[in-house]
C-alpha cells in the first residue's frame, strides 16, 4: 500500500481496515412493537448508550432485543472481541464487546483477525475521530458508511509491539483520567469555599483577631448615625419637591417620615461584640424595583439610558453590560421609569431566581441607569459601606432569610419588596466592614485563579492524551524490537486467511444470517 498518513518505523506498515477486518453494521426493529425488546435477551447497543461512557469494554446497552426483534431487524450478532465504532450521532465512540453483541445501524463494527489486538485498534480509532469524520459523507449530519469505513488507513505494528503499546497507553491514560477526576472536583469546592468564607465573615470569625487589637466605634452608634442620615435625606428631598412645585411645606411635615422597620432578632444568630443587626431599609434610601416599559420603547445596542436586566448581574458583584445591552429613552427614564432610577455605587440584586444572589455594584460608565422588575435597588447611606452590603447579598447565609420567606412557585423564587426591605443585615463597626470586604476580595481573587488554573489544566490534559496517542501511532511511544515478526509478514498471513475464507464461503453461499 503506498497510501499513508505519516511515516512509520520499518517494521510497521499501513493497511486499510477493509483489508484486514470484516466490517459489520447493525439495525433496529420497529420500536412500535414492544415485544421486539426484552429486559434480558440479545445484547444490543446504540450510540446513545455510550454517551459519557469511559470504559473500554461493554456487555450490552440499555435495551436488549428479543428473539423476535433480532430476527425482524438487520442487527447482527458479533463475537466477543469485536471493536464497535459509532458511525453517526456522533462518529467516534469506540468500545470492545466482552460477549456476543449486536448494534443498531449507527455503528460500523470491526471483527478482527488474531493478528490484531482489539485494544490497539480501539486506541487508534479513538485518536482518529477527526480522520473518520473527514472520510464520512454529509455536511451537517455526518455518517460513515461501511464502504467508506473500509478505506480507513490504520498503522499496523508487529503483534508483540501492539501489546506493548496498549500496556503503555493503559498506564498513561489511567493517570490522565485520575488527574482529570481530581480536577473535576474543584469547581464545586470553590463555590463551597466562597460560601463558607462568607458565612465565616458574617459570624465575625475572619476579623476576630483584628477586633481584639483595634479600637472601634460600636455598630450601634454607627447605625444611629446612618438613621439620622436617612431621615436628613428624606427631609432634603421633601423640601426640594415642595420647592419645585413652588409651595411651602405644611406644618408637621416632618412627622410624615416613616421610620424603617427594626429587624426581629429573636430568630437571628447572635452577633459578635460591637455588631448590630439592621434591616436593609434602615441602611439604605428608599428600596425599590424597576419595571419593563413597552417593547417599542426599548432599543438594543445604543440609546440614551442603559436599561439593566438580570443577565447583567453576576455572582462576583460586578456589572456586565456587554450582554445584550438594552437602552431606553431619557423621556421614559424620567417618566414611566422615574421611580427606578439608578446611580453609580447603587447595589443591585436579582429578586427572581433561582439562582438568587446575583449582585452588582453599578459603575460610573453612565451617569444614570434604569432596571426592570426582576431587580431591586439598594442605595446605601453615606456612612454605610456599599461593598460590604454587596457581599452580604452574595452570601447564602444571609439570603437564606429571604428565601425562607419567599414564595416558591413552580421552582421559581420571587422576593417581594417587603422581603428586600426587611432583610436583616449584620452590621460590624465601619472599619471592620472595610476589613471584611478586603479579606473576601482577596479570597475571591485566589479562588478565581485556582479555578482558571484548574480549567486550563483540564484542557491541557486533553491535549496530553491526544499527543500521547499520536506518539503511539507513529511508533515513538515504545521502542521497536527487531526480533518481532514484522507487520508485513502479519499482513500476508491475514490476506491469505481471508482469501481462503472468502473462497470457502462462496462455495457455501446461503444468504441467510
Please give the residue ranges that form the binding site for other proteins (CB under 8 A). Answer: 168, 171-172, 175-176, 178-180, 182-183, 185-186, 188-190, 192-193, 196-197, 199-200, 450, 453-454, 457, 461, 464, 468
Q: Which is nearer to other proteins, 173 or 430 (CB)?
A: 173
Q: Which is nearer to other proteins, 460 or 496 (CB)?
A: 460
Q: Which is nearer to other proteins, 35 or 184 (CB)?
A: 184
Q: What is the rounded CA–CA span in Å between residue 344 and residue 348?
A: 11
Environment class of 62 (CB within 10 Å of its CB; exposed 0-12, middle 13-18, buried 19+): exposed
Q: What is the rounded CA–CA span in Å between residue 141 and residue 139?
A: 6
Q: Which is nearer to other proteins, 21 or 440 (CB)?
A: 440
Q: Which is nearer to other proteins, 189 or 352 (CB)?
A: 189
Q: Which is nearer to other proteins, 165 or 328 (CB)?
A: 165
Provide the edge-to-edge strand list for the sheet that holds 57-58: 22-24, 107-111, 83-87, 91-97, 57-58
Cα distances from 116 to residues 20, 56, 74, 251, 472, in angstroms, run 9, 16, 27, 100, 16
Q: What is the phi-psi region of residue 411: left when phi exceeds 0, alpha when psi lies from -120 to 50, beta otherwise?
A: left
Q: What's the closest the beta carbon of residue 120 comes to other proteins, in angstroms?
A: 19
Q: What's the closest the beta carbon of residue 196 comes to other proteins, in angstroms?
A: 5
Q: What's the closest the beta carbon of residue 58 comes to other proteins, in angstroms?
A: 20
Q: What is the rounded CA–CA span in Å between residue 61 and residue 106?
A: 13
Contact 28, 121 (CB under 8 A): no
| Cell 445604543 found at | 302
Nearest in space to 340 (alpha carbons), one of 294, 315, 374: 374
Q: What's the closest the beta carbon of residue 448 comes to other proteins, in angstroms?
A: 13
Q: What's the closest the beta carbon of residue 447 comes to other proteins, in angstroms?
A: 9
Q: Which is nearer to other proteins, 102 or 468 (CB)?
A: 468
Q: Which is nearer to other proteins, 373 or 456 (CB)?
A: 456
Q: What is the rounded CA–CA span in Å between residue 361 and residue 307?
A: 15
Query: Which residues is 350 bridged to in the sheet?
Result: 375
Q: What is the phi-psi region of residue 405: left when phi exceeds 0, alpha when psi lies from -120 to 50, beta otherwise?
A: alpha
Q: What's the closest the beta carbon of residue 14 comes to other proteins, in angstroms?
A: 25
Contact 430, 232 (CB under 8 A): no
Task: HSE, CB side, 13 Å, CA atoms: give it for residue 477.
Answer: 24
Q: Count Cβ atoms below 10 Å from residue 331 Cβ, excluding itself.
A: 12
Q: Which is nearer to other proteins, 273 or 476 (CB)?
A: 476
Q: Which is nearer to other proteins, 324 or 445 (CB)?
A: 445
Q: What's the closest the beta carbon of residue 134 comes to other proteins, in angstroms?
A: 28
Q: What's the closest the beta carbon of residue 427 comes to other proteins, in angstroms?
A: 22
Which positions ≥6 away from 115 have C-beta within 8 Å?
Answer: 20, 159, 490, 493, 494
Q: What's the closest the beta carbon of residue 197 comes to other proteins, in angstroms?
A: 4
Nearest in space to 151 (alpha carbons), one of 132, 129, 127, 130: 132
Q: What's the closest the beta carbon of residue 200 comes to other proteins, in angstroms?
A: 6
Contact 428, 201 (CB under 8 A): no
- CA 208 from centroid of its chain's CA atoms: 36
Q: What's the closest the beta carbon of residue 421 comes to other proteins, in angstroms?
A: 30
Q: Which is nearer to other proteins, 136 or 199 (CB)?
A: 199
Amino acid at each position: 500500500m503506498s497510501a499513508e498518513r505519516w511515516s512509520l518505523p520499518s517494521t510497521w506498515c499501513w493497511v486499510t481496515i477493509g483489508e484486514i477486518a470484516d466490517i459489520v453494521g447493525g439495525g433496529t426493529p420497529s420500536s412500535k412493537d414492544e415485544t421486539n425488546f426484552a429486559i434480558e435477551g440479545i445484547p444490543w447497543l446504540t450510540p446513545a448508550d455510550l454517551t459519557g461512557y469511559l470504559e473500554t469494554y461493554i456487555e450490552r446497552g440499555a435495551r436488549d432485543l428479543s428473539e423476535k426483534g433480532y430476527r425482524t431487524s438487520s442487527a447482527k450478532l458479533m463475537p466477543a472481541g469485536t471493536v464497535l465504532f459509532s458511525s453517526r450521532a456522533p462518529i467516534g465512540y469506540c468500545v470492545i464487546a466482552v460477549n456476543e453483541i449486536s448494534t443498531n445501524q449507527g455503528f460500523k463494527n470491526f471483527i478482527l483477525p488474531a493478528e490484531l489486538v482489539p485494544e490497539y485498534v480501539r486506541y487508534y480509532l479513538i485518536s482518529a475521530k477527526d480522520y473518520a469524520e473527514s472520510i464520512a459523507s454529509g455536511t451537517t449530519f455526518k455518517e460513515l458508511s461501511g464502504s467508506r469505513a473500509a478505506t480507513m488507513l490504520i498503522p499496523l505494528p508487529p503483534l508483540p509491539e501492539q501489546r506493548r503499546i496498549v500496556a503503555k497507553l493503559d498506564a498513561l491514560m489511567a493517570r490522565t483520567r485520575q488527574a482529570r477526576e481530581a480536577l473535576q472536583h474543584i469547581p464545586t469546592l470553590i463555590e463551597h469555599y466562597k460560601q463558607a468564607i462568607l458565612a465565616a465573615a458574617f459570624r465575625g470569625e475572619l476579623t476576630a483577631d483584628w477586633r481584639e487589637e483595634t479600637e472601634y466605634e460600636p455598630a450601634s452608634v454607627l447605625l444611629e448615625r446612618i438613621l439620622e442620615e436617612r431621615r436628613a435625606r428624606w427631609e432634603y428631598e421633601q423640601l426640594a419637591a415642595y420647592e419645585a412645585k413652588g409651595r411651602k411645606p405644611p406644618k408637621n411635615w416632618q412627622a410624615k417620615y416613616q421610620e424603617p422597620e427594626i429587624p426581629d432578632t429573636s430568630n437571628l444568630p447572635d452577633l459578635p461584640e460591637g455588631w448590630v443587626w439592621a434591616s436593609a431599609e434602615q441602611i439604605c434610601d428608599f428600596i425599590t424595583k424597576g419595571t419593563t416599559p413597552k417593547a417599542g420603547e426599548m432599543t438594543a445596542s445604543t440609546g440614551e439610558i442603559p436599561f439593566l436586566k438580570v443577565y447583567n448581574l453576576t455572582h462576583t458583584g460586578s456589572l456586565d453590560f456587554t450582554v445584550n445591552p438594552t437602552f431606553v429613552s431619557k423621556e421614559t427614564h424620567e417618566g414611566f421609569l422615574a421611580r427606578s432610577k439608578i446611580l453609580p455605587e447603587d447595589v443591585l440584586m436579582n429578586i427572581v431566581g433561582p439562582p438568587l444572589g446575583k449582585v452588582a455594584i453599578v459603575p460610573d460608565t453612565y451617569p444614570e441607569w434604569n432596571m426592570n422588575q426582576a431587580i431591586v435597588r439598594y442605595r446605601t447611606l453615606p456612612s454605610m459601606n456599599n461593598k460590604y452590603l454587596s457581599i452580604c447579598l452574595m452570601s447564602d447565609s444571609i439570603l437564606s432569610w429571604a428565601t425562607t420567606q419567599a414564595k416558591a412557585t413552580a421552582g421559581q423564587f420571587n422576593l417581594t419588596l417587603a422581603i428586600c426591605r426587611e432583610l436583616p443585615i449584620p452590621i460590624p463597626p465601619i472599619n471592620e466592614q472595610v476589613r471584611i470586604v478586603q479579606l473576601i476580595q482577596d479570597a475571591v481573587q485566589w479562588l478565581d485563579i485556582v479555578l482558571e488554573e484548574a480549567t486550563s489544566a483540564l484542557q491541557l490534559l486533553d491535549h496530553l492524551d491526544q499527543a500521547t496517542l499520536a506518539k503511539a501511532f507513529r511508533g515513538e511511544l515504545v521502542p521497536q524490537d527487531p526480533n518481532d515478526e514484522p507487520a508485513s509478514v502479519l499482513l500476508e498471513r491475514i490476506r491469505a486467511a481471508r482469501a481462503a475464507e472468502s473462497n470457502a464461503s462462496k462455495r457455501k453461499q446461503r444468504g441467510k444470517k
